[in-house]
Amino acid sequence: MANEVQVEKMTDLMAKFIAHTAKKLPDDVIAKLQELRDKEDSPMTKVIYDTMFRNQELAVQLNRPSCQDTGVLQFWVKCGTGFPLINELEALLKESVVKATFEAPLRHNSVETFDEYNTGKNVGKGTPTVWWDIVPNSDECEIYTYMAGGGCTLPGNATVLMPGEGYEGVTKFVLDRMTTYGLNACPPLLVGVGVATSVETAALLSKKALMRPIGSHNDNEKAAKMEKLLEDGINAIGLGPQGMGGKYSVMGVNIENTARHPSAIGVAVNVGCWSHRRGHIIFDKYLNVTITSHSGVEL
Amino acid sequence: MVEIKDGKKILVTPVSKEDLADISIGDIVYLSGSLTTCRDVAHRRVVEEGRQIPVDVRDNAIFHAGPIIRPLDDDKYEMVSVGPTTSMRMEKFEYEFVKETGVRVIVGKGGMKENTERACKEFGAIHCVFPAGNAVVAATEVEEIVDAKWKDLGMPETLWNCRVKEFGPLIVSIDSSGRNYFEEKKVEYNKKKDEQVELISKQVGFIK
Ligand code: SF4
């Protein structure tokens, strides 16, 4: 019985947090957009950034989702083996999306594949997406939330390069995507890159890279150098806000990596749009919450 | 008609071909008057099925968008949220669509290509971009939903005829001389991209 009460409590807290992330961007994104806004100087970029900031203010004021595409919900959970609701977690996350969809309101963005109909609930087979990391000897649960919009999901791409193509090949793979699909994904973008051993390991890392705060760096010195090189390089292309031209194109480039087979380099790219609706919330075993992504939230 | 207010260039419907004559790609304009949401299936109906569009868009504006609408009493509606959708999906219909309907201002997201360029040039029309992700700004610039047609298409695809006030900013991406902002920009972006690939490649020779 106590468990039922707890499940309801966590479902409710998650629904409220999800709804909040639809209306307010995380602190690091707001700060970065502010910085880029100040650094741009053409009249067009100014007008676009002004509109973006006015929109975010209005969204909070009128309590509406800031972008009409509230995406498919994706969760990356790092759950302790001792977290009391580990068994119920996946089901309650789904329920929290249904709840948030009704309360926020969020757009119905779940279309069953093959049968090709919209479920009308914003959840379906395998949506929301849940990625699990099990953490031994912990009773906490850490959850990253993400709204994957259509426009910013489109540039996603992954491949396996031959070692001969090297990191030069990785560079070209990422940059090619920026001037084709990236353009329409509502820049300034956050670019996530996965470098690993195969197509799926790289792909998952490229999404996890988008959960890292803007301005953070890969622990490996060379990977961090490559993040900086790619960031400067994509900025030099000059996509500007909305891809209409400007001095900057990205909010940052985050690389995540693993070891690889000697004969293969798995590489993937994923982008987040300017409206990068990422959240990060931590539950302790009593369901006390700590929110690191957004300041001043009352759930 | 074109109105200048506080330094803003405002297109007021009905818009004539002449009104668009000195508007060029990259210009920022605003729109007051009649704007109708119109996307995939509505284009298909007009172009492929030859059906008459039930909202008069001649000399007015359309918006490639799928809104979130809240029904009020007495057949009235409120615009909760509306943002542009990728215009390129309508590209294959747009020449015929402009020809059939006489629409002057097309608003959407991202660029369009030859069909739309040709339509803009031949019939005197423009394509503009409303900065995407700003659904609340756009919704609050809609004063009233005047009419709703083809409701059988469901909320996103219905023709929502709106009265808008200083709707924008709208950045002109194709002008009535047929110039295309995104296509011109893409040449520049690709050139810079190739330079950067070369530059970065010199510094990432981690496999020795
Ligand atoms: S790319 Fe992002 S900001 Fe642009 S329309 Fe999609 S979800 Fe909204």
Please check whether residue A172 touches B, CB under 8 A.
Answer: yes
Q: What is the 3-state secondary structure (H, E, C) of A217-268?
A: CCCCHHHHHHHHHHHHHHHHHCCCHHHCCCCCCEEEEEEEECCCCCCCEEEE
Cβ-based neighbours of B9, under 8 Å, separated by 6 or more: B2, B3, B23, B27, B28, B29, B30
pTM over 0.90: yes
Residue A256 has pLDDT above 70, yes or no: yes
pLDDT of residue B155: 84
Among B83, B139, B205, select the one facing A69 at the smallest CB separation.
B83
Instruction: Return the SS3 of B121.
Output: helix
Question: Residue B133: its pLDDT value, please?
Answer: 95
Nearest residue CA, atom 7 of ligand 1? A149
A64 touches chain B (CB under 8 A): yes
Distance between B38 CA and the closest CA of chain A, angstroms:
16
CA nearest A54 in B: which residue? B137
User: Does A1 score more than 70 pLDDT?
Assistant: no
> What's the CATH code, domain A151-272?
3.30.1330
- Would strands B105-108 and B61-63 be described as parallel, antiparallel, or unpaired? parallel
**A226 vs B contacts (CB less than 8 Å):** 204
Which of A:229-288 have CB within 8 Å of B? 229-230, 233-234, 236-239, 241-245, 273-275
Using pLDDT thresholds of 50, 70 and 90, give the confidence band for residue A2.
low
pLDDT of the residue at B68: 82
Q: Which residue's CA is the nearest one to ligand 1's atom 8? A: B133
Report the residue of chain A nearest B192, measured CA to CA: A237
Range list of H helices, B61-180 = 91-101, 114-123, 135-140
CB contact under 8 A, A233 and B109: no
Which residues of chain B have a CB within 8 Å of the CB of A43? 28
- As a whole number of angstroms, the distance between CA A98 and CA B22 comes to 50
- What mean pLDDT is predicted for residues A211-219? 98
Q: How far, in Å, CA of B160 to CA of A98, rounded?
A: 27
Per-residue pLDDT tens listing for chain B (208 residues): 999 998 899 999 999 999 999 999 999 999 999 999 999 999 999 999 999 999 999 999 999 998 888 888 888 999 988 999 999 999 999 999 999 999 999 999 999 999 999 999 999 999 999 999 999 999 999 999 999 999 998 888 899 999 999 999 999 999 999 999 999 999 999 999 999 999 999 999 999 8
What are the Cα distances from residue A214, in Å, to A282, B7, B96, B195?
A: 19, 37, 45, 26
Among A40-44, A84-88, A180-184, where is mean pLDDT lowest? A180-184
The single-letter DSSP state of residue B130 is P
Domains of chain B: 2-182 (3.20.130.10)
SS3 category, B54: coil
Supply A288's token pair.
């006390």
Across the range A89-115, mean pLDDT stands at: 94
Taking a C-beta distance cutoff of 8 angstroms, is the pair B106, B61 a contact? yes
**B70 vs A: CB within 8 A:** no
At residue A103, does pLDDT exceed 70?
A: yes
Q: How far is the CA of B19 from the CAs of A46, A126, B25, B129, in angstroms? A: 26, 52, 15, 18
Among partner residues A64, A151, A172, which is closest to B197 by beta-carbon distance? Answer: A172
Q: Which of A41-45, A118-122, B14-18, B127-131 has the lowest mean pLDDT?
A: A118-122
List the one residue out of A159, A145, A238, A235 whose CA is nearest residue A198: A159
What are the sequence ranges of the domains in chain A? 1-149+276-299, 151-272
The CA distance from A155 to A174, in Å, is: 10
Give yes or no for residue A28 CB within 6 A of ligand 1.
Answer: no
